[in-house]
Structure 1
Amino acid sequence: GGAAAAPLLVVNLLVACMGGRKLRPSGQDVGALEQGQRGRFDVALPALPGQEAGAIGAAFNRMVGELSRHIETERRAVRAETQLSDSRELTRWIDHHIEQERLTIARELHDELGQSVTAMRSMATSIAQRSAGRDAQAEQAARLIADECSRLYDAMHGIIPRLTPLVLDNFGLADAITDLLERTRRAHPALALDAELALGNARVPADAALALYRAAQEGITNALRHGEATHLTLRLAGTADEVALLLRDDGRGLPEGGPPRDGHYGLRWLRERVEALRGSVTLENLPPRGAQLAVRLPLAPESP
């Protein structure tokens, strides 16, 4: 707006100058000046007669050339911002539908398959009890089935939290992170794991809470699988304006050139998920060893 106003002023001054000096502009001159007065700066004046008029015309041409480039740069910036906004919305849409599908699968596993496995285990246990002392082979087979049902039930309940954190919907981010840490401790008894959860009164929307949970999940998995960490420190802090997750480990750190290839897509999707919420993700090595994952998400102010 302001950048375009100055050339319009110069165009008007040039018109006045040509009129005051009794210069007779050609049809091409008039056309260029009229275009400039209407805000069109992709035109140029031909060489004007006389030293003073020629200098003014040359200056005008340089000015409109610079302004044309400036306007085009602004247009490209607007188009890029629009495309970025569309990309963020697409990422959020895809992410939402993936999470909904995960939630559906998790609930079906919990409700349908879970009940079926429990029923089979009960029937197998009952058969084993009735066969005791009468049919050793049937009793052994029934107990094997019951044991396998127990193993399948435990494996299924290990899969469900990886598909979707049901505790997140029911109890919130802090409890979901606590549950994730407890499961990590049980799976890795030798791991030293420190945590500080200080969300305070921060109101974390569901999409931001899910992104932070997935960040913690991805960070812990990578630290143990790729970094061979023995000590993890997790910090979750919130203010009225921002919520941040910080995860540090004492593992081998990031290899030269970035994260390992088999962990690349998880981190890339995490970054896209967070950036779609206008947040940031940083992953860097720590001296003398280890790595740090930092995720920050802005919180929208509450409506008055």
Structure 2
Amino acid sequence: MQSVMPTKSLPLPKKRLAPHSTVRRDLLCVFAITVIAGLLFARFDFSEFAYRWTRSAERFQLDELPATLFVLATGFAWFAWRRYQESQQELARRRALEEEAERLLADNRRLSMQALDAQEAERRHLARELHDELGQYLNAIALDAGRIRDLSAQREPEIHRLSLALMQSASHVYREIGGMIRRLRPIGLDEFGLPTALEHCVESWRERLPEATFTLTVEGDFSELTDALNITLYRLVQEGMTNVSKFARAARVEIYLVRAPDDAARTGEIVVTMADDGPGMDLSKPRRGLGLIGMRERVEALGGEFHIASQPGDGFLFCARVPAQAGRPDPSEPNEAALPAKSAKSER
């Protein structure tokens, strides 16, 4: 079984010094420079030299210059202290804004997940309706047409021809409905799990793109994932296949789905990587399609990371890392389903 190709890790940000540590360091520097200056002035008798120099220019009152410089230095110290306090207030305000932005971003991701869940629930419902209602009626039409064909094979040639046309139309509509159901809801995802659904997806693309070569590698346990995570991983591969059909129809495509084992320090993560040796693309140029943007939003809504790499003539690769526990409700958040009952009880 093939292993997942290595991905470059992002550089860690350098550790910043705390503001109080910076202030203490600057104060130590000032005190050290002051002590060194005092020792140098004492060594070269700077005060006596300044006295002799200013004494000859008494008419210009240069002997009052030290006191004036002391007042100026005091004013600068007061000015620096005021600017320091303003900078601290601005820093606190920016931290509050960053915390508010993080909270809003988390709320936005939560709302995005709720919207995706509602969309997938509607798709699941529509797929069931198409399969249960229209599928049964189309099968009934095909059976009735077959019965008419058998009864009129030798007696009524025209009826026989019309029954054959009716059966062909019913078969065509049934195939189209099957394609719609597969696009709305992955076949086998609810019954057999993610790996089986992906194998069925890859097999269907093998039939559509006979010139391309597909390899699917699955490692790890995917039996206890949330529906949101399952559908996100499936949609990533599905969108990647769509891009291959548009830009790399004769490429060699490799798909890796790996779940890292859980440890005591953190929960495991799931990595899905898809690479092809097609014509590639220039990532510096703006793209008109929204497929990659949708893939990134799906992954980031679950708290994951999404990276792409490509160069003209050098293929295309995307890698998504998602926590294995993504999509599960946060224990710290209140149970929204219990809130109406609780409020109704308080009203009584």
Verify same fold: TM over 0.5: yes
Tell me, what secondary structure is at the counterpart of 2:318? strand
CA contact (8 A) 1:88 1:276 kept: yes
Query: How many angstroms apart in 2 are the aligned matches of 1:102 and 1:277?
Result: 20
After TM superposition, the structure 1 stretch with the greater mean CA deviation from structure 2, 151-160 or 90-99, is: 151-160
1:284 aligned to which of 299, 305, 309: 309
1:250 paired residue number: 277
Q: Does 1:297 align with 2:297?
A: no
Give deviations 1:171-197, integer Å, cap 9, x for gaps.
111111111111111222332111111
Tell me, what secondary structure is at the counterpart of 1:233? strand
2:190 paired residue number: 169
CA contact (8 A) 1:286 1:292 kept: no
Query: How many angstroms apart in 1 are the aligned matches of 2:171 and 2:238?
Result: 26
RMSD, aligned α-carbons = 2.8
How far off its partner does 1:51 sit? Answer: 6.3
CA contact (8 A) 1:246 1:293 kept: yes
How far off its partner does 1:50 sit? Answer: 6.0
1:18 paired residue number: none
Rate the CA distance shift 1:89–1:98 in 2: closer, same or farther, 3 A: same
2:296 paired residue number: 271
Rate the CA distance shift 1:138–1:77 in 2: closer, same or farther, 3 A: same
TM-score relative to the length of structure 1: 0.77
Rate the CA distance shift 1:259–1:194 in 2: closer, same or farther, 3 A: farther
CA contact (8 A) 1:125 1:142 kept: yes
Which segments of 5 or more consecutive residues in structure 2 lack a partner in the other structure?
1-17, 24-69, 263-267, 331-348
Q: Does 1:159 align with 2:180?
A: yes
Rate the CA distance shift 1:62–1:165 in 2: closer, same or farther, 3 A: same
1:70 paired residue number: 91
Which segments of 5 or more consecutive residues in structure 1 lack a partner in the other structure?
8-48
After TM superposition, the structure 1 stretch with the greater mean CA deviation from structure 2, 280-289 or 153-162, is: 280-289
Query: How many angstroms apart in 2 are the aligned matches of 1:201 and 1:105?
Result: 26
TM-score relative to the length of structure 2: 0.68
2:204 aligned to which of 175, 178, 183: 183
Rate the CA distance shift 1:215–1:118 in 2: closer, same or farther, 3 A: same
CA contact (8 A) 2:281 2:312 kept: no
The structure with more radius of gyration: 2
Rate the CA distance shift 1:187–1:259 in 2: closer, same or farther, 3 A: farther
Query: How many angstroms apart in 2 are the aligned matches of 1:53 and 1:79?
Result: 39
What letter corresponds to residue 250 of structure 1 in structure 2?
Answer: D
How far off its partner does 1:198 sit? Answer: 0.7
Number of aligned residue pairs: give it: 259
Give deviations 1:229-256, integer Å, cap 9, x for gaps.
4321111111131101111112221245
Q: Identity across aligned pairs (percent)?
A: 29
After TM superposition, the structure 1 stretch with the greater mean CA deviation from structure 2, 144-153 or 288-297, is: 288-297
Query: How many angstroms apart in 2 are the aligned matches of 1:258 and 1:299?
Result: 34
